[in-house]
Amino acid sequence: MFEKLYDETENVNVQFVGFTTEDVRYDFGIVFTNMFFGKPLVVCMQTGRSTLLGSEELEDTDHLKSVFRIHSYEEAKELALFLKETLPYATLDAQYE
């Protein structure tokens, strides 16, 4: 027995971005949706690992290290900086305050 919580269909925008650091290449699919309080779903194309990322999650380097299995604090900082420049958080977070 189960209780369905939601079943939504939505046309979404998806952005594919890739970048490299000195040691690592990253390829992400970013799904922009109205679900999940407007937080985009960020999917690592190499590992399939994904997470919802709002501005508060980007400030938590340990969270990024854990979700994307990054071993270096510096790599996690570089990823956070890249995503801050890529994702339009000013408009997303403001509408849900």
Q: To the nearest 10°, report the CA torsion of 37, 59, 87, 53.
A: -40
On whether residue 18 sits in a domain, the answer given is: yes
On whether residue 59 sits in a domain, the answer given is: yes
Residue 10: both structure tokens together = 């939505």
Distance CA 62, CA 59 (A): 9
On whether residue 7 sits in a domain, the answer given is: no
Average pLDDT over residues 14-38: 90
Host domain of residue 21: 13-89
Domain tally, the chain = 1
pTM, 2 dp: 0.81
Q: Is the pLDDT of residue 91 over 90?
A: no
Query: CA nearest 19: which of 40, 55, 45?
Result: 45
pLDDT tens digits, one per residue of 68-81: 999 889 999 999 99
Residue 92: both structure tokens together = 């997303």
On whether residue 19 sits in a domain, the answer given is: yes
